[in-house]
Amino acid sequence: MVNLLIQVLTLISGLVVNFVIPGLYGLDAYGAFIKANVLVFLFQKLLDIVNEQLIASVEAEYILVTSLFMATLIFLLFSVVSLVDDIGNPLLLSVMLLSSACLLSLFGLRLQRWIVGYLVLFLCVFFVLLFISYQQILPLSIVDILLLTNLIPCLFAVAVLFSHGAKLPVGRQLLSTCKNVLFLLPRMVSITLVFNLFTNILPYILSKSLPVRDLGLFRVIVSIIQSATSLFPINVRAVFVAFVSGGQRQEQYRIIMSVALFYFALVGLSGYAMGWLFPQYSAYLAMLPCLPVLYWAVVTERYLVASGLHRKVIIANLVLGVLAVAGMILFVQGLKQAELFYALGFSAYLLFLHLLCRPGIRLPVIFWVSVLSPFAIVLKDVNLIWGVLYMLSLLIIAVGILRLRPADFRTLRF
């Protein structure tokens, strides 16, 4: 129940930041903010993705300090890049990096109740600041709101962590921690390259060519797809921790994948129903078929890392990463191309992971789920029925081929 509450609060936290701010300030102002701070989100997400692997390689009490050391290296890299392309608020980035490190450490130490407190405080601070800004009590910009919304919960989290098990490494442990970070950073960046390219570097490239309104719209659309990891009732980090601890790992993988396919098919059908009832919001739901693909790719990546298949995951990321960068530069010019390229990227990543590693789900199923997703997105401009048919086919696959049964919902414990 606590894990479900964490997921609900995480989802709400992402939604209010990515949808309430554009709703109040407008897509033009939000797009201008993204254009001015795109590197901030790129490097913050880089740390968020990279740091998650620390759960499998660092003792829980040292995750906070190790993560902060990693954040320092990433901030230095940001500072170097800013010398070439001065985009982004350094103070905002530093607070967001601290937030990422604190939340990861709370998960690593399994302080679920304190995670709930952190997220509730985050939401309370956010809405109080929005009220202050809306009532013109203080002139707060989007940067001001995000800075304070992250900083205040971080101060709370640091106090909680050091009173509930987080430790500062000393002596040889400190030296070992520094060596581990320097050794792990290249591997972690490699493992998460594809995800970071499509969620962060693609918007950065688009910021050079798209009008601010289209850039803001694309950011909102991508935020909907990225929320797949929060839309699912069980947190991806909790799934990863369960995979790392072992014990019927492949059966856990089958269950989580079948439940996720069934769940996101229902989410997709609900989204299409909402788009039919409220056509003015249909543009925000353009990439619904990408939801199950992205979640399957993320869970498969975590499963393979937990199984020790780091090298194959790195190969998949490097090969697709090089092709993706070339494709971004050569072919992506407008909003429609960006949407299709995003969907193709994650479909290719999911397919490539399974071709390299064969983690237990039959390849025809992977081909169907991954290959038909971009087609459903392209054909949405012809008729939404193609997206509906795609989601219905996923329900059939989950129940008929992946053998999803009511008992699987009861035994799903992460």
Residue 221 has pLDDT above 70, yes or no: yes
Least confident residue range of 80-94, 218-232, 397-411: 218-232
Specify the pLDDT at position 392.
92
Task: Report long-range pairs for 258-261 (Cβ below 8 Å, ≥24 apart).
Answer: 258/398, 258/402, 258/403, 258/404, 258/408, 259/398, 259/404, 259/408, 259/409, 259/412, 260/232, 260/292, 260/295, 260/296, 260/299, 261/292, 261/296, 261/369, 261/394, 261/397, 261/398, 261/402, 261/404
Report the percent of the chain where pLDDT is more than 70: 86
CB 65 within 8 A of CB 43: no
Burial of 74 (0-12, 13-18, 19+ CB in 10 A): buried
CB 207 within 8 A of CB 215: yes
pLDDT tier for residue 368 given thresholds of 50, 70 and 90: very high
Q: Where are the domains of the chain?
A: 2-185, 206-411
Instruction: Report CA-CA distances (Å) from 32 to 25, 54, 77, 170, 235.
Output: 11, 34, 24, 45, 31
Which tens digits make up the pLDDT trace of 371-402? 898 888 888 766 778 888 999 999 999 888 88
* Higher local confidence (pLDDT), 408 or 377: 377
Which tens digits make up the pLDDT trace of 60-94? 777 788 788 878 888 888 888 777 766 678 888 88
State pTM to two decimals: 0.75
Residue 355 has pLDDT above 70, yes or no: yes
Q: What per-residue string of b and e applies to 83-113 under the rule 16 or more CB within 10 Å gives b? A: eeeebbbeebbbbbbbbbbbbbbbbbbebbe
Q: Would you tell me the crossing angle of helices 249-277 and 236-245 to the nearest 10 degrees? A: 170
Specify the pLDDT at position 57.
65
Which tens digits make up the pLDDT trace of 144-165? 888 998 899 999 988 888 887 7
CB 160 within 8 A of CB 107: no
d(Cα 172, Cα 57) in Å, to the nearest integer? 17
pLDDT tier for residue 50 given thresholds of 50, 70 and 90: low
Give me Rg for the CA atoms of the chain.
Answer: 21
Kindly report the average pLDDT of the chain as a whole number.
Answer: 80
d(Cα 359, Cα 300) in Å, to the nearest integer? 8
Closest C-alpha among 243, 242, 232, 240 to residue 265: 232
Closest C-alpha among 67, 326, 15 to residue 177: 67
